[in-house]
Structure 1
Amino acid sequence: MNYKSYSLITLSVCATMAANAQDTSTSSNTQEIEHVIVTGSRMQESIDEVPASVSIINNQTIAQDMLTSAELQTMLAIHVPGMAAANTGTNTNSGQTLRGRNALIMIDGVPQSTPLRNGKLGIRSLDPSVIERIEVIKGATSIYGNGAAGGIVNYITKNANSEKALSGRVGISSNFSAVKFEDSVGRRLDVAIDGTLGKFDYVLSLVSDESGVIRDSEGDALGLTYGLSDFKSDNLFTKFNYYVDDSRSFQFSYNYFEGQQNTDYIAVESNVNAGIKSHAIKNVNNIEVPGDPQGPRGSHNAKLQYRDMEIFTNTDFTADAYWQKIENVFFYSTKFKDESAGLVGGQSMITSEKTGLRLNFNSVFDFDNVETTLIYGVDVLNDKTAQPLVDGRMWTPEMDMDNIAGYLQTKVIFDENWVVKAGVRRESIEIGVNDFNTLMICKTGKACTVPVSVSGGTLEYDATTYNIGLRYSNHEIFSPFISYSEGFDIANVGSLLRNAQFTELNKIDTEASIVKNSEIGFSSVYENIRFETAAFYSTNNYGGNMAEDPLTGTYRLERAPQKIWGYEAAIDVTFTDVLDAGLSYSWLEGKNKENDTYLDGGSISPPKITAYINYQASENLRLAMNYTGIQSRNRFVATNGKYSGRKAPVSSYNVINASGSYTINDAIKLSAGIENLFNSDYYSHIAQSHTFSGWNVKGKGRTVNLGLTYNF
């Protein structure tokens, strides 16, 4: 491990820990939980003091959305301006970027993304029923390190909410296509208990969710590439807290999530250029379909946390030790054929195991009525990631990464109205790779790639990133902010290795990609109206786009500088105690700075409009509706009448969902939700822009979800 260049951070941390500060009394936070965030700086703070764009999806919104669908990528698309629209009915978040870049997905701060070989499956890594709230920080950030080029999506899981020894709920629901009922019935069972026993509290949740065949607006089964038709997922979640005293506590949490697609339907694949949709048909002839079931075979997340709110004067200390392991299986492909070995195809999977330790100190001082907060500490991470084939062949070799980072963040509030935040983070990374051979890839109508023998070695990355922001919060009607932040990103090293055209590892370009994000915006609260808007400009020295090799049809990482810019606006209005609504608009664009060409649909999503309305019709009846509208984007020219890669044009479309719940008594609640209420016939922007075979799948048609919940 390379530990150089830590002198600045080490001195800062040591000086702070040795400081003999004055005693201060910290005022209690009187904000509603919806207006408090912990992800942005690893401490609890008011959203109105954060000089950056933040979105929070609270528990009530999550529960309301789940009456319609349990797909997390859809919830994020509806409620987070800047998050690209989702590809409904699929298990991937490919093409669903945050402000045009990849977001770091976390569960209680434990990373779920696999940035060493980004398979873009991290968004759907747990069941939404165990989430208390979702915090989204937009723009590059230096507080959490690698993989957060576009920002952070942090799933904050539930704690015990009952003072009784035992309370809980049992929920059952079923969904089905309202267009064509055949084979479409799914079922869901959700059991959760929690309670408090003296100094101990606990949460335990078990969810089993099995879908039927998912159908589009014409009644056809959706395609099977990344598909959720006949997809069964199971989620086990548990969390235990032990409170030693008023200031010290231990917490242990564990989440297990798996999902597999077992279907008797077979794929009928096409592509955008053919003008025929990809779909699936019933396997009435019992054709043998090669490959293992798609989906996560098992995702484990375990975390042990110790917290001391007064480890020394005015200082809160948190230590997190965590372990995460995943195994995600992709779809079967004939491109992995090897006639010499008698193989007609193959199936890849991403395996990743992370162990980490985070030591975080939070010290608060008051100097002449200037409140100063210092957040400082060390992150240590080991990440072993690879992409083998199910049959044992290796596509992307194992990458063994050791990462140590020190950081210092400051927050200063003066004159009670001005908030200044600034920070620095120093990263040092070593990635060990053994000798390996690249895999021969043979696509239909293309030349096969030529395998290369590569001598292994060690890749070294070192980077220092900075951030600074200013917010003025004296007037609720106008609270402006401006910020500059940097993020550190290793641009999908696995893709560079699996497509290697070099014989020695040390010939790879190891310079880190530094993402620089500038942002300006404001929030405004006037009586019952809240308005937020922001504009941003983001650059990086090395991009992460995948460019197609026209000879072989494979994709290589494009290491060219990029720029992305855009703006967002959102308004929320509480009309009465029983009626509220909101509207948002997002627009962004991006270019390759090297050749001044537009970035493709893998990064840039079309403009997005969302809206929602909630109505408490009576004490027992609650109704809700949300809308997503995607506008068009057409930046590329066809070659010989055909588009390539992710450069096909996108046409506009609109989707409306509706839901309602009726509380019979304190124990029993009935619910109903309709996804795609008006049965809109559309392809998602991802299905339209991506020209790959099997990707041009239509969105879900009208789908009904009925549920019953019993609380005790």
Structure 2
Amino acid sequence: MTRFQGLPATALAVLWGTTSVVAQGAEEPVLLDEVVIQALRTGGTESSIPGAVQVIEGEQVRQRIRQGRDLADVLGDLVPGLAPSNGTIGGASQTLRGRNTQILIDGVARTSELRGFDREFSTIDPNSIERIEVVKGSTARFGNGATGGIVNIVTSSPDAGFRTTIEGRLSTQSESDSRAADLFVAQDAQFGDFGVRVEASGRDVDNRFDGDGDRIPPDPIIGQGNADNLERYTLGSTLTWQRGASDLRLRLDAYELEQDIDFFTDYGTDPVSLTDRPYDGEPVRDEGQSASVRYSYSDTPIGEVELSAFVTDVDRRAAFAEPGPQNTLYYTTGPGSITQSDDAQTELFTTTYGASVTVRTPLDGVISGAGLTWGLDYARDDVEQELIDGTPIIAPMEQDSFAAFVQLEAPIGSRLTFSGGVRAERFDLTVEDFVRPDAAQLGTTGATALPALNVEGGEFDYDAVVGNAGLVFEATDEIDLYAGFSQGFSVPDVGAFTRRAVLPGALALAPGQTISFEDIEPDAQIVDTYQIGVRFDQDAISVDASAFFSTSDEGVTFDSATNELSQQKEEIYGAEISLSYAVRPAWLLGAELAYIEGEFDDDDDGSVETPLPNNRIPAPFTATLSTDYLFANGASLLGELVYASGRDEGDEPELDDMVTVNFGGAYPVGTGDITFGISNLFDRQQDNNTASSVRTDPLTGGGVYVADEGRRFSLGYSATF
């Protein structure tokens, strides 16, 4: 049966792809076959996995980007269970089902899980995206890190023939210095069995303002920078070669992002505001290069064999942050001092590379329709983080990971399909000796000097065997029921633990004391996720609904008031639903709904009764309602109502509801389309819940509230010829 399921976004992309058919008065939309999802690694499709999986087409993403929005905003609205965007270039608190998200580009992580510093959504141009695959729930398909799920961004492959794509866009708010400009150019060419695609883009953004017309500070939360006053340039190239059973794909990427901050932020106002103190640090910066290659040969005695390799090199600089509620641990001028050093600005350097072998072996001789996916993975991470004068602030680390995995998919009768597998993983971690510099900790009674501390490294290892199992039952031709269990394995942010190394009573000790990493190393975390769900497709209606429960004995919680990391038992639960309804072939209604909540064992008594902090669950309930209409002449309109609930749990600062209306569309002109859009149509003044959940003021216990962006107008043109 041909399937038409997933997000309404996918359905809309289908309608867009059939403009001429609709224009001719076709009575039914054309339904496309399901996409093989790379993030599954098995060659499977959405309907084959016993869990929640979504595919968002690149055109769907670009429609919303053309409203003047960012990639993180779009995904926060379209993926039930993913927290709303925080409105900056970083991913702080944008969790998936309350846990960490493993962000991949073509199946490759840009940075190491050993030191979290997430900016992936801000460093890729959305015009480079073919589709985005979301696999929810803990999983070990790509190794360490995916306790909440995977977001895999698949970049575009060369189109057939010789084609040029160009897109330009300008957006602005009511204020004169709020413009943003984007330009993207791509060239596709085909030479026999070879395909080539070359892409280049530039982005230039001025200031951003809230619904009251007040400027949002350039660094409103934790030193990662806002999404304003920046320039970003990307360059990418894809080479493909196909002949017979052989398939080769090579991807090269380079990018550079820089944000110029002009003034420091006042964190004592609600929301945070701009001071008149000129910023005197270095600009926020992010630059990286990456290469990945994948070769598969489908005609071997053991089935399809896929070989892949990758290398990434990324340098990231945070903003210079004054001591305050957003920066409670800072580096000082020397022993006993509580005065911040002029060099107390950090840079992160990560280099990762690896290779894998994946074999997909059909087992038709044993069970008709069954298949086995198995293979080996290897990866190496090198991580350093320093002050801008070269002083290390975390222990330099190297990690080698080795894994073997096997996954079986087999039908049981005509309607039931079993899926199950295991992954054995080992991490060999080398932590070098280093001196944690003189620092100060800001608390409720003021700043206290932390003497420099010698941290002894060593050789450490983590290992685990994690599994998954599930069933998909085809109840009818239109209804699939599924139930599954999956495990994810994660070594928490090791760098953060060494950065915060403190001896008991260290506040009263003289410099020169020593602590072993063995005494402060975090425990590896295994997360168990249980899911049940239903997928329904009948004529014009598509529904995907699921409920989940995840638990871990070594969950990681960050207390932003004390700047401390801790591990304890935790449980998270929730439900999600995606629904689309084609009122007519050219008119589509959609809804994405999610509820998430969780508790942890705050007092180590074996019982989980304390609500997880806001930085894990910034919005327990989210909803996006959308309507899309495609006119007979090819013009289109898109409207959205986006809601994110507030939160008032335990001792956490209260967060208010967020309500945003977005509108946009396109009109065909020549070989392309004039595009237009308005985000936050009614210019609503509100706080951004995710940004406001990152920090708690240690002096007052109150929130550090960050305003959401006000209304933005966008106008552009896109053409392919």
Same fold, judged at TM 0.5 (above): yes
Give the 3-state SS of the residue equivalent to 1:101 in structure 2.
coil
AA matched with 1:338 = T
User: Against the structure 1 CA distance between its residues 627 and 448, is the aligned structure 2 distance closer, same or farther, given a 3 Å change threshold?
Assistant: farther
Kept in 1: contact 2:206–2:228 (CA 8 A)? yes
The share of aligned pairs that are identical, in percent, is 23
1:248 and 1:39 map into 2 onto residues whose CA distance is 17
1:466 and 1:234 map into 2 onto residues whose CA distance is 41
Equivalent in 254, 258, 264 of residue 267 of structure 1: 264
AA matched with 1:310 = D
Residue in 2 that maps onto 1:579: 587
AA matched with 2:218 = L
TM-aligned CA deviation for residue 443 of structure 1: 4.7
Equivalent in 662, 685, 689 of residue 657 of structure 1: 662
1:709 equivalent to 2:718? Answer yes
| Structure 2 unaligned blocks of 5 or more | 1-29, 220-224, 324-329, 504-514, 604-608, 698-702
TM-aligned CA deviation for residue 389 of structure 1: 1.5
Give the 3-state SS of the residue equivalent to 1:613 in structure 2.
strand
Q: May I ask how many residue pairs the two structures share in their alignment?
A: 652
Larger deviation: 391-400 or 438-447?
A: 438-447
Larger deviation: 122-131 or 464-473?
A: 122-131
Equivalent in 615, 619, 627 of residue 633 of structure 2: 619
Kept in 2: contact 1:428–1:463 (CA 8 A)? yes
Kept in 1: contact 2:292–2:309 (CA 8 A)? yes
Aligned counterparts, 1:20-31, within 5 A = none
1:294 equivalent to 2:293? Answer no
2:142 and 2:423 map into 1 onto residues whose CA distance is 9
Aligned counterparts, 1:26-425, within 5 A = 35-69=34-68, 71-88=70-87, 90-162=88-160, 164=161, 166-178=162-174, 180=175, 182-225=176-219, 226-243=225-242, 245-263=243-261, 265-270=262-267, 274-280=268-274, 288-296=278-286, 298-313=287-302, 315-335=303-323, 336-340=330-334, 343-344=341-342, 346-367=344-365, 370-425=368-423
AA matched with 2:641 = Y
Residue in 2 that maps onto 1:593: 601
TM-aligned CA deviation for residue 288 of structure 1: 4.9
2:548 and 2:153 map into 1 onto residues whose CA distance is 24
1:170 and 1:556 map into 2 onto residues whose CA distance is 48
2:622 and 2:531 map into 1 onto residues whose CA distance is 19
Give the 3-state SS of the residue equivalent to 1:541 in structure 2.
strand
Give the 3-state SS of the residue equivalent to 1:448 in structure 2.
strand
User: Against the structure 1 CA distance between its residues 570 and 709, is the aligned structure 2 distance closer, same or farther, given a 3 Å change threshold?
Assistant: closer
1:708 and 1:210 map into 2 onto residues whose CA distance is 17
Residue in 2 that maps onto 1:630: 644
TM-aligned CA deviation for residue 453 of structure 1: 0.6
Residue in 2 that maps onto 1:689: 693
Residue in 2 that maps onto 1:603: 616
Kept in 2: contact 1:91–1:295 (CA 8 A)? no
The C-alpha deviation readout for 1:118-151, integer Å capped at 9, x for no partner, is: 1232333311110100000000012211010101
2:32 and 2:111 map into 1 onto residues whose CA distance is 27
Residue in 1 that maps onto 2:498: 497
Give the 3-state SS of the residue equivalent to 1:64 in structure 2.
helix
The C-alpha deviation readout for 1:76-102, integer Å capped at 9, x for no partner, is: 1111111011122x1111111000000
Kept in 2: contact 1:460–1:510 (CA 8 A)? no
| Structure 1 unaligned blocks of 5 or more | 1-30, 638-646
AA matched with 2:301 = F
1:669 equivalent to 2:664? Answer no
TM-aligned CA deviation for residue 669 of structure 1: 1.7
1:288 and 1:369 map into 2 onto residues whose CA distance is 70
TM-aligned CA deviation for residue 154 of structure 1: 0.1
TM-aligned CA deviation for residue 345 of structure 1: 5.2
Kept in 1: contact 2:39–2:107 (CA 8 A)? no
TM-score, normalisation: structure 2: 0.87
Residue in 2 that maps onto 1:513: 525
Alignment RMSD (CA, Å): 2.0
User: Against the structure 1 CA distance between its residues 477 and 402, is the aligned structure 2 distance closer, same or farther, given a 3 Å change threshold?
Assistant: same
Residue in 2 that maps onto 1:488: 489
The C-alpha deviation readout for 1:602-633, integer Å capped at 9, x for no partner, is: 11132111111111133231111122101121
AA matched with 1:292 = E
The C-alpha deviation readout for 1:558-616, integer Å capped at 9, x for no partner, is: 11111111111121111111100111211111111353211101111321111111111
**Runs in 1 of length 4+ with deviation above 4 angstroms?**
31-34, 692-695
2:672 and 2:567 map into 1 onto residues whose CA distance is 56
Give the 3-state SS of the residue equivalent to 1:569 in structure 2.
strand
TM-aligned CA deviation for residue 380 of structure 1: 0.3
1:70 and 1:326 map into 2 onto residues whose CA distance is 25
AA matched with 2:49 = V
Give the 3-state SS of the residue equivalent to 1:77 in structure 2.
helix
Kept in 1: contact 2:198–2:237 (CA 8 A)? yes
AA matched with 1:306 = Y
Give the 3-state SS of the residue equivalent to 1:96 in structure 2.
coil
1:215 and 1:508 map into 2 onto residues whose CA distance is 43
AA matched with 2:251 = S
TM-score, normalisation: structure 1: 0.88
User: Against the structure 1 CA distance between its residues 32 and 401, is the aligned structure 2 distance closer, same or farther, given a 3 Å change threshold?
Assistant: farther
Residue in 2 that maps onto 1:527: 539
Larger deviation: 333-342 or 34-43?
A: 333-342
TM-aligned CA deviation for residue 692 of structure 1: 4.8
Kept in 2: contact 1:358–1:377 (CA 8 A)? yes
2:41 and 2:123 map into 1 onto residues whose CA distance is 22
Kept in 1: contact 2:571–2:599 (CA 8 A)? yes
AA matched with 1:54 = V
1:435 and 1:462 map into 2 onto residues whose CA distance is 23
1:443 and 1:679 map into 2 onto residues whose CA distance is 39
User: Against the structure 1 CA distance between its residues 249 and 691, is the aligned structure 2 distance closer, same or farther, given a 3 Å change threshold?
Assistant: closer
2:256 and 2:51 map into 1 onto residues whose CA distance is 35
1:493 and 1:39 map into 2 onto residues whose CA distance is 29
Residue in 2 that maps onto 1:7: none
Kept in 2: contact 1:34–1:56 (CA 8 A)? no
Give the 3-state SS of the residue equivalent to 2:686 in structure 1.
coil
1:337 and 1:635 map into 2 onto residues whose CA distance is 33
AA matched with 2:62 = A
2:32 and 2:72 map into 1 onto residues whose CA distance is 23
